[in-house]
Structures are given as C-alpha cells and as structure tokens.
Amino acid sequence: MPSRSGTAAPQEPRNIEPLALHADAPDLAMPGSAGQDSSERARRWLVLYPRAIPLLIFLALAAITALSVFSIESNARARERAQMREYAQSLAAALDRSGSGFTSYLRAGAALFASVDEVSPDTFDNFVRALKLNTEYSGAEGIGWIPVLEARDLPAFLERTRKTQPAYPDIFPAPASATGRVAPVAMFAPATAVNRRALGYDMYSDAARAAAMAEAELTLRPAASGRIVLVQETSGTARAFAIYMPVFRMGADSKGAAGETEPGGRRLAGFVYTPFRAREFLDSALDRQGAMRFGVRLYDGEIGTGHLLVADSIADAARDTVTQDVTIADRKLKLVIEHADHRVLSPLSMVTLVFGLALASLLMLLARLLTQQAFEDQARLAFFEEQHSIRNSLTRELNHRVKNTLANVLSILSLTRRRASGLDDFADSLEGRIRALSATHDLLTVTDWGTTPIRAVIEAELQHFREALDDAILLDGPELELAPNDALSFGLAVHELATNAAKYGALSVPGGKVTIRWCRGNDPAAETEWAEVEWRETGGPPVAHERRRGFGTELIEKVVAHELRQPVTLDFAPSGVRCVLRVPVRRPADFRIREREADRRVRKP
C-alpha cells in the first residue's frame, strides 16, 4: 500500500492477553468471616430460617402460656372441688341434724306413750306442747300417733276415738279383710286443715310405709321410709319420706288395743311418726348453709331418676359432681352436689393467656424484625463483597487495557516516526491514528466495554468520510458483536484503510466507491466463529505496480493480524485495493466480567 512513512522496520507490539476470570480463582476474604462467635452463628440461623425462628419462638411461648393456664385451671378445679366437698359435708351435716332432732322427739314420744295404757288426746297435746315444735324451718309436717290394731278391732277403735274426736273419719283405704294389722293415723299435730286430711289413713296400706314400720319394729329404733307421697297432698306429686318410732308396752296385765287384758310380755302398741316434705327438708338445710352456686340433688338410696327425692339443680348441665352419703334414721340417702361454671376460664387464667399471647406475639415480631435485619445485613455484606470483587476485577482489567492501549500507541508512534517525511506529516498521521483509537474507545465506553456491533465500529471510524461522501461508502452485513480488544484492532484497521483510500484510493477522486461487506463464518472442528469483512475500492485511480510498503500495510498485516489472531489478505489490484479480514466473534459471556463475577460470588457456599 502506498505510504509516505519511512523505511525503518516496524516494531511489533507486545501482546497482552485479556484478563481471564475463572470459577476457581481465589475468593476475597470476607471481613470477620474467621472465628465466628455465637452471635454470628445465631445471626446465621436467623438468616437461614427467617420465618421458622419467629414462629418457633411464638409456639414455644404459646406452649408455656398454655401450660400455665392449664396449671391455673387445674388448681382452680381442685380448689373448686374441695369447696364442693366441704359444702356437701356441711349440707349433709345440716340434714343429719334436722333428722336427728326429730328422731329425738320421736324417741321421747315413744318413751312417754309406752308408759301409759292408752294415748289420749290430752296426753298427746301435752306432749306436743312440751316439745314446742317449730316445723317452719325443719321441713317436717309435725308429729303423729299411729296405733297398731287388728282389723277386727276397728269398730271398737272408731267408737272410742269419736267420743273425743267427733269429726274423726272412717279408715281409708278400707281394709280388704277382717284379719291382719291396721295402723290408722289417730292424732296429728299441729292440727291444721291440711294435716287433718291424714287422720284415718292406714299406714299399712302403702308398701314403703309398711316396710319402714316393719324395720323400726324389728330394730327397735327410728326408721325412715322410702320415697312416698303425703296423704295431705292433693296433687299427689310432692315427694316426701317419713320416720317411724315403734312404741312397745310391757306388763303382765297390759290391755290390748280393743281394751281386753293380755298376758304379760312386750307388745307393739303403735308408732310415733314424723313426715317430711323433701323440698322443705332440703331447703331448710340450704338456708342454714347460705346461698351457694352449686346445684343439689337428694336421692333415696341409689342415684337414679326413680329414686330422686328432690333436686335443686343448676340451669346448665353439670360439669362436675361430688357425692356425699347422708343417713336419716338408719336409711341411706345420696346427696349429689353439682357445679357448672359459666366462665370459660378463670380471671387469672384469662390474664395469663392474654399476657402470654401478647408477649409471644411481641417476641415473634421482634424476632421477625431481627431476622429481616440479619437478612438485610447479609445481603449488604454479599453486595459489598460482590462490589469489592468487581472493583478488583475492573482494576485489573483497566490495568490490562491501559497497558494494551499504551503498547498500541507506542507501536503506532514508532512506526509513524519511521515513515514520516517531516514533523507535520508525523503529527498529522499520529493524530489521525490516535483519533481512530479514541473513537473506538468512546464506542466501547458507551457499551460499558461489552460486546460492540461490527457496524457501529465501522461507522465510528468512517464518520468523517461519510459526512462528506455518504453515497461513496456502502455497508452491508448481518448483526454481529465484537469483543472489546478485537473492536479496537478492527477499528484501527478500518481507519488505516479509509485514510489510504482518502489519500490515494477510491475516496480521493469523484465517482470512487468503497464497499464494505461482512458475513459470519465458523470452523466446527475448532468451535470458533468469525466475521469475515471485505473492503473493496472501485472507481479510484489505478494502483501502481511499483510501490513501497508503508506504515498502513505493516500496521494491518502485523499489528492487526497479530491482535486478531486471524490472517489478513491485502490485494493491490489495478482496479482498486481489496482487503479481507477475519475478526473473531466470541461468546458474550466471556466479556461480561461483572455479571459472571457476581454470579460466582453469590453461588459460592
């Protein structure tokens, strides 16, 4: 290629390879990574399990709270059950006192009536007045006298009784036969209108009453009946029971119930008895114990619907019950105390539960904030580590590129000086080539020193020529990307070709044209690709056969070919210069230093 440069041999620039980043390159030490203490281990747990740790703290405190509430409730239930037992015992004692009081009255009456030949109304009234009965608070209906007769002796009994009690009724229910025992109610005090309904009633006509009288006769002690309905009751639904005390008379000439004389010995003269309404009997004991929040049921013997005497139940279903035995005149009764607390939890349990859940929620929120802060700190450390690695990589890359650029500049400077005919020629040639490097540098700066389109490199180098000779330059080729170092070398070659064409070739005369075409080529065996660029000049002045090698020829054939590691073909045909270059098309990932370095840092365990 014709040139005005000198004849000195060009100095081949020193080749400096781009910085290669490998996955196995040594890592940058993270500050504080050695000798991690317990706080750092805790921080790591917070980072690894940002949701599980707060949830675990909440569940642990919630479990502690639940155990505390369970303990408080268990103690409350135990205390409540102890209160129920105490109440049952005190209520049983009150019932026992009521029954024992009237049992004493019956014993006294039995002793008095056993000492007389016949119980007259005066004797009975004197006895009752001496007792000073107060049935209002005891649940008892009063005290009565029941003589035991043979059925055949009833007419004589009615005749004697009606002499002192003209209104005495007939015996009811009427005896079924003329044989057997009859036990009619002869006297009852207090003599109210309701109580007078019991006069004349045959106690042996009811099985429960007859069984109690038979037991009392056998044991010689007061005996209580089972569940009965009082004769005084018109509705016949009020449950009651009665206590019977037998009266025996002793003596050789004791008279029978009909008035005849019987041989000596003990005989049953009758019973002193007291009936009790179950409701009033229980209420009297409840009144003495005071108002309680417990329900009460009183059963005759076994617990069951058929044995229920009276119930003072709570409205809701019983949550807990306590059973207490009560003995009234040798008869076993069952006292059941019920309790149903309307409150779901006790006040102390509610306070503990609310406080525990609030504390658990607060600590969970605090732990969540700590995990978030630890995660953010970890992210910042990773970011700083990444930036530190990128900065070191960029520093090494910058040093490498500066050295390469300086080497290229030194080579250009040396070759230009040797081929310059004078100082002005040297300055103009050097300035043009430095501007070519600068234009390509500017283009690479815009692309952040990543891959650069080949068209953009050509247009940057031909910008001044295309402004004046736009129609004379034709560009044609696909979109291909060049590596930064390859773009610099290729841009320098285009500049030299354009400068030579403007001085001596097709761009130096009107009608001359320059066509630049490129296409993609590859070598499957070597797994390499390149862009094959053809520079062709037409319409310019004929190229002389005799020419001396100039700086541009050596720059393209030596420097550019060496940097691109591809052959360069220069053909100085008479019709115009033709140059074919191969520029490597490398993988974009090889030049995205920051992205690859960041990925490697993030994936490192």
For 547-556, how does the pLDDT look when each residue is reduced to its tens digit (9 = 90+)? 666 666 777 7
Between these two residues, 264 and 99, which has the higher pLDDT value?
99
Quick count: other Cβ atoms within 10 Å of Cβ 183? 23
pLDDT at 572 over 80: yes
pTM surpassing 0.85? no
Encoding tokens for residue 524? 């499957």
Query: For residue 338, what pLDDT is reported?
Result: 87
Query: For residue 11, what pLDDT is reported?
Result: 39
Please give the biggest Cα pair distance in the chain: 186
**Could you give all domains of the chain from N- to C-terminal order, each with its CATH number?**
420-596 (3.30.565.10)
Query: For residue 187, what pLDDT is reported?
Result: 95
C-alpha of 435 from chain center? 70
Q: Which of 186-190, 543-547, 566-570 has the lowest mean pLDDT?
A: 543-547
The mean pLDDT value for 564-591 works out to: 79
Which residues share a beta bridge with 528?
Answer: 523
pLDDT at 366 over 50: yes
The mean pLDDT value for 556-580 works out to: 80
- 542 burial class (0-12, 13-18, 19+ CB within 10 angstroms)? exposed
pLDDT digits (tens, 9 = 90+) for 68-94: 888 988 888 888 889 889 989 999 998
The mean pLDDT value for 349-372 works out to: 86
The mean pLDDT value for 569-592 works out to: 78
Query: For residue 571, what pLDDT is reported?
Result: 85
Polymer length of the chain: 605
Top-confidence range, 42-56, 232-246, 296-310: 296-310
Work out the mean pLDDT of the chain and round it to a whole number. 78
Query: For residue 496, what pLDDT is reported?
Result: 82
Top-confidence range, 186-190, 237-241, 305-309, 442-446: 186-190
Radius of gyration of the CA atoms of the chain, in A: 63
Band (pLDDT 50/70/90 cuts) for residue 389 is confident
Query: For residue 433, what pLDDT is reported?
Result: 66
The contacts of residue 33 (CB under 8 Å, 6+ apart) are none
The mean pLDDT value for 340-344 works out to: 66
The C-alpha atoms of residue 286 and residue 295 are separated, in whole angstroms, by: 11
| Cβ atoms of 215 and 223 closer than 8 Å | yes
The C-alpha atoms of residue 25 and residue 258 are separated, in whole angstroms, by: 133
Query: For residue 243, what pLDDT is reported?
Result: 95
pLDDT at 568 over 70: yes
Query: For residue 602, what pLDDT is reported?
Result: 42
pLDDT at 407 over 70: no
pLDDT digits (tens, 9 = 90+) for 95-104: 998 888 889 9
Q: Which amino acid is it at 537?
A: E
| Cβ atoms of 452 and 481 closer than 8 Å | yes
Quick count: other Cβ atoms within 10 Å of Cβ 378? 15
Query: For residue 35, what pLDDT is reported?
Result: 46
Give the DSSP letter of residue 184. B
| Cβ atoms of 283 and 257 closer than 8 Å | no
The mean pLDDT value for 171-175 works out to: 90
C-alpha of 4 from chain center? 87
Q: Which of 36-40, 197-201, 236-240, 594-598 has the lowest mean pLDDT?
A: 594-598
| Cβ atoms of 585 and 529 closer than 8 Å | yes
Show the CA angle centred on residue 443, arms to residues 440 and 449, nearest 5°: 100
β-strands 473-476, 513-523 pairing: parallel
pLDDT at 403 over 90: no
The contacts of residue 106 (CB under 8 Å, 6+ apart) are 143, 222, 243, 244, 245, 272, 273, 274
Query: For residue 76, what pLDDT is reported?
Result: 83
| Upstream peptide bond of 588 is cis (omega within 30 degrees of 0) | no
| Cβ atoms of 598 and 581 closer than 8 Å | no
C-alpha of 593 from chain center? 46
pLDDT digits (tens, 9 = 90+) for 88-141: 999 999 899 888 888 999 999 999 999 998 999 999 999 998 888 765 556 788
